Structure 1
Amino acid sequence: MGIDLEALFKTIGPMIGAAGTSDDEAGGGFHSLMRALVAFDYAVIFAYREKERPLDLYSTFTPDEHVVFVSLYQAGPFLLDPFYHAAREPKPGVWRMRELTPDRFFSSEYFRSYYTQTGLAEEIGFFIALEDGITVVLSLMRREKSGAFSAAEFALVKKAEPMVAGLVRHAWADLARRFDAALRQGKGGRKPLHPAADRVWRNLNLTEREASIIELVLQGHSSESIGLRLGISTGTVKVHRRNVYRKLGISSQTQLLSIYLKNLEQ
């Protein structure tokens, strides 16, 4: 697919100097810009701040797809998402999902029980860091039948990052206020996951070290990777993991994820 310059210029024109841009207008502008560059199946835009429930700013999903990609994701699985962790670092730029995943991500229970439901071959994201610890992530997704983005396509998309960053900073300057409002009220009648995400492990009577290790396990890190991140031996990681399983009366990562997500809902 070649660059559609006519579509590109038609999209950029109305955006220049535009005031009062809505989520749908800004999201639609991003969608049109990317369509002029590469082919993809879905676009979705989330805003992240700390461990709070992500704000769903824009998406192109059908109602059924929205349940998996947005509603279910916001309910808790986002805490294990490599994009979420890259947003919190923050890690600005344009990234392929596979560049950000832990070493055992594709064999993790999160990947098997949630991510495979999406049916995606690849996801790439623009990570735009804003003030107040907020990062907006604009994702382009391809389904398995569409295949991954080629090296040339990815290189072309990366060149658009300054333009996308400008769009984000113009359209979403009030996100801190929106996050604060969600914390006060609970969007849709549901409590935001802050500080509930931290309380989960205390409610399960895990020590701080045990909680750190188990979170990394759920994210898809191997014992070796966890040891390197925490500065402890692989053997110590395995001992802590066995102790957690014994405390919780479980024997698998499937059970561990189930307990984690169930406690997030309380």
Structure 2
Amino acid sequence: MEDSSENVYLLASKLIETSGTDAFNPALLSLINSATPCESVFAIHFHKNSRPTILLSPDSTLLTSKIMDEYLNGFYMIDPFYNAFKAGLPTGLHFIKEIAPDDFFESTYYTEHYCNRGYEEAAFVINLDNDSQIQISLTVIETPATVATRERLHAISPLVISAYRKHWQSIENTQTASQQASDIIHEQISSVFKNFGYGVLTERETELAILIIRGYSLIAIAEMLGIAHGTAKVHCKNLYSKLEINSKSELFSLFLDQISLT
């Protein structure tokens, strides 16, 4: 969907004028959808020491309240965009295929729980400081996104990022009321990762298990950890044996059981 330059300028003007008001989010949606039709758009605030906060809720049949609850109650810890944020994802426009683990699209999380299966997903990323980031996530109906669509999204990216950064300065204080509760919940969820298989798995086996859950292949894991592929396979075999499982889906089920207790 290619909008006229005149209309894009009007939408951009509206976005800037509404900064800090309730009219900002509708203006943001209008500008993004002028570049390409989206099945959903939502904004999320990531902080390294707290649970994510939804800033703009999606109006989507894909992103049901159940899926969003699952995400906020622990699945965000295995979300490619969240982990890319923790790894230092720079400000700009990023597509999920550029940042996801190599086996993510075959992982149990993606095939059974991920809300945007089969869609092209991207995010406008806005780094606020070393510990926090805002991502404006969009699910592009056009799948895969064409070169022209990517160019239009990249063209509006500086405006979206600049406008939202200014908007955040106006609304930041209203978002911190429940920060303490979110910090506590995040610490509880983080402990699931730190203690996964506690008393059964070695520290290395736990590390391997979490990377498998996040969607990395053993080849990629071996490279990340600086070990031989054969060594990674041995660790995988050992952790499966200790946990009395035989597959990635069973491993994910154990993880799901653990976060459901938080």
TM-score range, shorter chain: 0.7 to 0.9
Which deviations, in whole Å up to 9, do the C-alpha atoms of 1:132-165 show, x marking residues without a partner?
511111122134xx42210111022112221111
Q: Say whether the 8 Å CA contact 1:43–1:139 is kept in structure 2.
A: yes
In 1: Cα distance, 2:49 partner to 2:123 partner:
19
Q: How many residues align?
A: 258
Partner of 2:231: 236
Partner of 2:73: 75
Residue identity over aligned pairs, in percent, reads 26
Gaps of 5+ in 2: none
Structure 1 residue 211 and structure 2 residue 210: aligned?
Answer: no
Match of 2:143 among 133, 136, 147: 147
Q: Which moved more, 1:99-108 or 1:10-19?
A: 10-19
Partner of 1:123: 121
In 1: Cα distance, 2:178 partner to 2:70 partner:
18
Q: 1:142 to 1:36 in 2, by over 3 A?
A: closer
In 2: Cα distance, 1:41 partner to 1:63 partner:
9
Q: 1:81 to 1:43 in 2, by over 3 A?
A: same
Partner of 2:101: 102
In 2: Cα distance, 1:131 partner to 1:248 partner:
40
Partner of 2:135: 137
Which deviations, in whole Å up to 9, do the C-alpha atoms of 1:21-53 show, x marking residues without a partner?
34xx33322211112222222111111112632
Quote how far apart the aligned CAs of 1:226 are: 0.5
Partner of 1:253: 248
Partner of 2:159: 163
1:19-34 aligned within 5 A? 20-22=20-22, 25-34=23-32
In 2: Cα distance, 1:238 partner to 1:207 partner:
15
In 2: Cα distance, 1:78 partner to 1:182 partner:
18
- Aligned AA (1:257): F
Match of 1:49 among 32, 47, 50: 47
In 1: Cα distance, 2:216 partner to 2:158 partner:
32
- Aligned AA (1:139): S
Which deviations, in whole Å up to 9, do the C-alpha atoms of 1:166-187 show, x marking residues without a partner?
1221112378767764342349
Q: 1:225 to 1:41 in 2, by over 3 A?
A: same
Q: Say whether the 8 Å CA contact 1:53–1:192 is kept in structure 2.
A: yes
Q: Say whether the 8 Å CA contact 1:193–1:264 is kept in structure 2.
A: no
Structure 1 residue 184 and structure 2 residue 183: aligned?
Answer: no
Q: 1:168 to 1:20 in 2, by over 3 A?
A: closer
Match of 2:187 among 194, 197, 219: 194
Structure 1 residue 112 and structure 2 residue 111: aligned?
Answer: yes
Gaps of 5+ in 1: none
Q: Which moved more, 1:122-131 or 1:52-61?
A: 52-61
Q: Say whether the 8 Å CA contact 2:125–2:134 is kept in structure 1.
A: yes
Quote how far apart the aligned CAs of 1:217 are: 0.7
Q: 1:68 to 1:147 in 2, by over 3 A?
A: farther
Which deviations, in whole Å up to 9, do the C-alpha atoms of 1:44-93 show, x marking residues without a partner?
11111126321111133247733255222222222112111122222122
Alignment root-mean-square deviation, CA: 2.7
